[in-house]
Amino acid sequence: MKGEPVGKGRPRFTRQGRAYTPKKTRDYEFKLAAAASDKMVELGLDPITAPCKVSILCQFAIPKSYSKKRTAACVVGKEHPKRGDLDNYVKCILDAIQRNGVMIENDSQVYSITALKRYGDPMVIITLEWD
Q: Give the per-residue pLDDT at 99.
A: 87
CATH number of the domain located at residue range(s) 12-130 in this protein: 3.30.1330.70
pLDDT score of 100 more than 90: no
Q: Give the per-residue pLDDT at 95.
A: 93
Q: What is the pTM of this model?
A: 0.90
pLDDT score of 83 more than 90: no
Enumerate the domain spans of the chain.
Answer: 12-130
At a CB cut-off of 8 Å and minimum separation 6, what does 31 contact?
Answer: 1, 3
How far is 117 from 109, CA to CA, in rounded Å? 23
Q: Give the per-residue pLDDT at 79.
A: 93
Report how far apart, in Å, the C-alpha atoms of 96 and of each of 27, 52, 65, 111 are: 10, 16, 32, 17
User: Using alpha carbons only, what angle is made at residue 23 by residues 26 and 122, rounded to the nearest 5 degrees?
Assistant: 65
19-52: per-residue pLDDT in tens? Answer: 989 999 999 999 999 999 999 999 999 999 999 9
User: Judging by DSSP bridges, how do beta strands 110-119 and 52-60 pair with one another?
Assistant: parallel
